[in-house]
Structure 1
Amino acid sequence: MNCETLILVSDKFVDFTADKKAITVSQLNAMLEVPEHIIPGTLKLIPGLGISDNDIVELTTKINAQHTSSHRWDVSALASRPRPAKPCLSHKRLPHNTLIGAPHQLDENRFRMDLCIDENSELMRDHQTGQHVQGMVLVEASRQAFLAVTEAFFQDEGEDSAYFVINSMTTEFMGFVFPIRSHIDYRVVSKDINERRKKFSVEIEIIQGGEIRTRSTISFTVYPNRIISEREAALARDAVKVFLSEFQQPASTVVAE
């Protein structure tokens, strides 16, 4: 029995599927209407990037409802696809805006997590061109990575909620990231932690096919929310005063004759 393996990606990556063993959600839905004898053999689906939980549920439900041989579809890999991190780690309220999986610790200063992309995310809903993942999606994934690692491994239980301040951030793009499985390697370069704040310098690399595709170097500081909120509020008040002063006209002077 022949077995054909296909990468399943979201519709926004339709250009990626040309001349490859890859298929979009819409293309798969169309294929489900084709009689089994037209394309015989087992079709195994491997999850790529961009597909949503709803896509997976709808497709597997439709496949399971088909009157085909038991070996027609192999969707086991879809169930074991990388899952996004919890909102408390990514600081995103809507799950489809989380671009990373839960981080796992490799040693004292190294961590790893999956790249998880839903085409309904805030950065993909309005822009997607070509076959690769857009650069700003990868930058945001790197930002979420330092939030998640810090929240999961450097915040004590019962500690005040944290406020993150980015001091500097640079990103090098070494190559395209395509909508297939990728992971993020995270390394703490230095850390300076005291009772008042936690300061980190980190290096974050997005890896695909064993090659580094992006590298971000980020310096950030974590403060207790109550401390930075007071400072932020004071700065906001000062900014409003300066802004409104630009609209204040000098009082007209009346000269008596």
Structure 2
Amino acid sequence: MNSSATSRLVVGDRFRDFAEAVGAETFSRLARSLDAGDLDAVEGPLRVVTGQGVGEFEISYLEDAVRRRQLDDRIELVHSAGQPARRQELHKAREDNVLIAGLTQVDDTAYEAALRLHDHNELLVDVQDRVHVQGMVAVEAARQMFVAVVERYFTARWPQQRYYIVLNSINTTFSNFLFPVGATVRLTVDESEVSEPSRLTFRTTVEVEQAGRPAAAVTIDAAAFAPGLLEEKELRRAKSAVASTMDAALAIA
């Protein structure tokens, strides 16, 4: 980063291979440069654009570092991911694992959100050693988009109930690599049946788009069940699975 630059991309430390490949900064490297005064001579204006892995927590640190070095008039942080989808909409217990932010309704059948990757997301902590992001991120983002849309815009009509969402099928086609920068997740409701509150059914198409190109398309066929409809069947099959396992183990013994 130098005084002649007008913009710079910063990504989470998890994406250091990507940063090295494209000449971007990682969060830790940029933070160290700011704290050490390495950027005090920058003439600006310099716009630092945040990619994946850099959230509000990290941005707050960078903003503080810029203020302390009195660089407010020369360095601007650009971040526009939007608010992460809420826990009750995604059935996720950790914010680290939320992949959807800024969810909005476009029209009666179309919904849109930004892809949001935390640096400690469950799909990245085991291995992220390529320039691109692994395909399972797109699949999980599509699944989360489906759950969030169903919870916010459909099951919310019956707020006294907490629905169980059951996937019948999920099919994915990959078109391009996905990289740790901004991407858009779009969901279209192709078919739905929501006249019976105890059982809602949906067929949707979710597309993950980046830089104007599709990265993945995911079709999801699923249903949302009101409490009480699945427990008996689930418990019966759970007991059957245990019995089968025990019988097999005794047969070996």
Q: 1:219 aligns with which of 205, 218, 221?
A: 221
Any unmatched runs of 5+ in structure 1? 250-257
Amino acid at match of 1:184: V
Aligned residue number for residue 204 of structure 1? 206
Q: Secondary structure at the match of 2:230?
A: helix
Match of 1:243 in 2: 245
Cα 1:17–1:234 change in 2 (3 A) is same
Q: Given that residues 81 and 101 in structure 2 are in contact (C-alpha distance below 8 angstroms), is that contact kept between their aligned partners in structure 1?
A: no
User: Letter of the aligned partner of 1:158 in structure 2?
Assistant: P
Contact 2:21 2:131 in 1 (8 A): no
Describe how 1:122-201 pairs up with structure 2 within 5 A.
122-155=122-155, 156-193=157-194, 194-201=196-203
Name the counterpart of 2:68.
Answer: 65
Map Cα deviations across residues 127-155 of structure 1 (whole Å, 9 max, x no partner): 10221111111111111011000001111
Q: Following the alignment from structure 2 to structure 1, what is the Cα–Cα distance between the partners of residues 149 and 212?
A: 22
What is aligned with 1:49?
Answer: 52
Identical positions, percent: 29
Please state how far the C-alpha of 1:219 moved relative to its aligned partner. Answer: 0.5
Return the alpha-carbon distance in structure 1 between the equivalents of residues 242 and 8 of structure 2: 56
Instruction: Read off the aligned partner of 2:245 and give its amino acid letter.
Output: F
CA distance in 1 between counterparts of 2:133 and 2:63 reads 25
Helix, strand or coil: the match of 1:246? helix
**Local SS of the residue matching 1:237:** helix
Are the aligned partners of 2:85 and 2:98 in contact in 1 as well (CA < 8 Å)?
Answer: yes
Shift of the alpha carbon at 1:21?
5.2
The alignment status of 1:112 with 2:112, answered yes or no, reads yes
CA distances 1:13-57 after superposition (whole Å, capped 9, x unpaired): 1222236452111220232121523x4323211111112333222
Contact 2:7 2:47 survives alignment (8 Å):
yes
1:13 aligns with 2:15: yes
Residue identity matched to 1:42: P
Name structure 2 gaps, 5 residues minimum.
none
1:31–1:151: structure 2 CA closer, same or farther, 3 Å change rule?
A: same
Question: After superposition, what is the alpha-carbon deviation per residue over 1:214-243, rounded to whole angstroms, capped at 9, x for unaligned?
Answer: 000111111113211222112111211222
1:89 shift after superposition: 1.1
Give the RMSD, CA atoms, in angstroms.
Answer: 2.0
Matched position secondary structure for 2:249: coil
Q: Distance in 2 between matches of 1:191 and 1:23?
A: 44
Contact kept in structure 2, 1:52 and 1:120, CA below 8 Å: no
Q: Judge conservation of contact 1:90–1:144 (CA < 8 Å) in 2.
A: yes
CA contact (8 A) 2:101 2:113 kept: yes
TM-score (norm 1): 0.88
Q: Tell me: CA distance 1:2–1:157, structure 2 relative to 1, closer, same or farther (3 Å).
A: farther
